[in-house]
């Protein structure tokens, strides 16, 4: 949804015809993994997946007060034990295996209020300036990209007076 609002395209599409760009992106990912010691990372052979259902699941998790365990579960099943996380049966089994009620999540992902909240969140993010992911807002400041995480951390510390 955010890509549509911002008229943006995924890097795999946007850079498909740019010589060496995708290879460089893969090199940057490898450097990031090495720098941060992400020893459990495994590239998902099903990537890219349609993330609409798992984004709706995040709304359900937020409403139910279990966002952190949900995010941990989804990232685990996307990037540590890769699964096709746009298949409802796979999502249900993955959430069940992580101690969450997969059937309940799937049922709630179709609720009108969940869909509306995700659309509202996406619109709000776009209006604040987001055009892709990952985007972080710290106060009124916007930060984009995994390479900006150090800047996100520094801004949080600055605001805390550390």
Span 64-115, pLDDT tens digits: 999 999 999 999 999 999 999 999 999 999 999 999 999 999 999 999 999 9
Is 90 exceeded by the pLDDT of residue 147?
no
Peptide bond just before 48 cis, omega within 30 deg: yes
pLDDT of residue 60: 98
Structure tokens at 118: 């995700």
Q: How many residues does the chain have?
A: 162
Structure tokens at 59: 């709304």
Cβ neighbours of 57 (radius 10 Å): 27
Structure tokens at 129: 């300036």
Range name among 56-60, 67-71, 137-141 with the lowest pLDDT average: 137-141
Measure the CA–CA gap between 128 and 130, rounded to whole angstroms.
Answer: 6
- CB-based contacts of 78: which residues, under 8 Å, 6+ apart? 44, 47, 49, 85
pLDDT of residue 15: 74
pLDDT of residue 45: 94
Measure the CA–CA gap between 118 and 108, rounded to whole angstroms.
Answer: 13
Bridge partners, residue 137, by sequence: 142
Measure the CA–CA gap between 120 and 154, rounded to whole angstroms.
Answer: 29
pLDDT of residue 52: 96
Query: Residue 13 — pLDDT band, cuts 50, 70, 90?
Result: confident
Which of 4-13, 59-68, 131-140 is most confident? 59-68
The alpha-carbon radius of gyration of the chain (Å, integer) is 17
Query: Residue 14 — pLDDT band, cuts 50, 70, 90?
Result: confident
Is 80 exceeded by the pLDDT of residue 16?
no
Which of 16-20, 36-40, 109-113 is most confident? 109-113
């Amino acid at each position: 949804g955010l890509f549509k609002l911002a008229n943006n395209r995924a890097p795999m599409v946007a850079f498909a015809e740019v010589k060496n760009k995708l290879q460089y992106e893969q090199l940057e990912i490898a450097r990031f993994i090495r720098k941060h010691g992400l020893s459990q990372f495994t590239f998902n052979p099903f990537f890219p997946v349609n993330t609409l259902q798992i984004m709706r699941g995040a709304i359900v998790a937020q409403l139910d007060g279990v966002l952190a365990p949900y995010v941990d579960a989804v990232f685990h099943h996307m990037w540590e034990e890769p699964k096709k996380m746009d298949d409802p049966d796979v999502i249900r089994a993955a959430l069940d295996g992580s101690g969450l009620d997969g059937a309940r999540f799937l049922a709630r992902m179709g609720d009108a209020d969940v869909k509306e909240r995700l659309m509202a969140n996406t619109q709000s993010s776009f209006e604040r300036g987001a055009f892709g992911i990952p985007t972080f807002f710290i106060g009124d400041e916007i930060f984009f990209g995994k390479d900006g995480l150090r800047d996100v951390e520094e801004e949080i510390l600055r605001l805390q007076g550390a």
